[in-house]
Amino acid sequence: MSLRVLVLNGPNLSRLGVREPEIYGTATYDDLVRACQETAAELGLDVDVRQTNDEAELISWLHGAADTRTPVVLNPAAFTHYSYALRDAVAMRTAPLVEVHLTNPAAREEFRHTSVIAGVASGTIAGFGLDSYRLALRAIAALLAAGSR
């Protein structure tokens, strides 16, 4: 039996491929899901990839992950910059959690430079498109192998 990892995606990520392709590229959300599934299989992990535009739903998923000690790859999207409620949910984590972004927020508009999530995550990977997710899953596997929270 493989270890379950949640890959949680915040607002607008379901619009990949049509939303500002000059910024986010042409890969679709289905491509993102497939990349996560393929990488997880290579690592012996089982992924549950989810997306929501609802902050409350995302928080509930994080609570569930904390309650079950489930590792998480989290792309908080716009919630990254201002959701203290999401930050507080991440702070309750009981397993590794890697914040991930398709683009590099530090190289974008100034309001995107601050992550309220980064300080309570195990780490952050940003700027590598779908490879950000592949790298995050590899980081989760390495953290679990090292016994890290």
Using one digit for the tens of pLDDT, what is the confidence trace for 47-59?
Answer: 999 999 999 999 9
- Which distant-in-sequence residues (6+ apart) come within 8 Å of 35 by Cβ? 130, 133, 134
Task: Tell me whether residue 103 is annotated as binding.
Answer: yes
Q: How confident is the model at residue 2 (pLDDT cuts 50, 70, 90)?
A: low
Task: Tell me whether residue 9 is annotated as binding.
Answer: no
Specify the number of domains making up the chain. 1
Say what angle helices 84-91 and 55-67 make with each other, to 10 degrees: 10
> pTM for the whole thing?
0.91
Q: Please, what's the largest Cα pairwise distance for the chain? A: 44
Task: Tell me whether residue 112 is annotated as binding.
Answer: yes
Q: Across residues 112-129, what is the average pLDDT?
A: 91
Q: How confident is the model at residue 111 (pLDDT cuts 50, 70, 90)?
A: low
Q: Are 137 and 43 in contact (CB under 8 A)?
A: yes
Q: Which domain holds residue 10?
A: 3-145
Between CA 120 and CA 78 the distance in angstroms is: 17
CATH of the domain at 55: 3.40.50.9100
Task: Tell me whether residue 34 is annotated as binding.
Answer: no
Task: Tell me whether residue 63 is annotated as binding.
Answer: no
Q: What is the pLDDT of residues 5-47, one digit of tens each?
A: 999 999 999 888 877 666 667 789 999 999 999 999 999 999 9
Q: Catalytic residues, which ones?
A: 24, 101
Q: How confident is the model at residue 81 (pLDDT cuts 50, 70, 90)?
A: confident
